[in-house]
Amino acid sequence: MSQVFSEETHRNLLARIPHCTGREVSDWLRTVDEGPSLFRFEEKVSWLRGEHDLAYGHAKAIIHEYDLRRAARKLG
């Protein structure tokens, strides 16, 4: 898992995603979960950008959040 932003920047980007994309973060996380089984962080970002026309920063924030939540599930 790659740390891509400061925690504050990450949270700010997540907060803006619904306004900028018209979809809630939870919906984007579900989209990633249901998407192709890609392993590398940048592959996932590229897939989101290509399939859903997301800005690079938004795609990185979504994938970072997805990875954080997946890691938390494995620990819990």
For the stretch 5-61, pLDDT in tens is: 789 999 999 999 999 999 999 999 999 999 999 999 999 999 999 999 999 999 999
Contact 2, 41 (CB under 8 A): yes
CA 72/CA 19 separation, integer angstroms: 26
Residue 71, classified by CB atoms within 10 Å of its CB into exposed (0-12), middle (13-18) or buried (19+), is exposed
pLDDT at 3 over 70: no
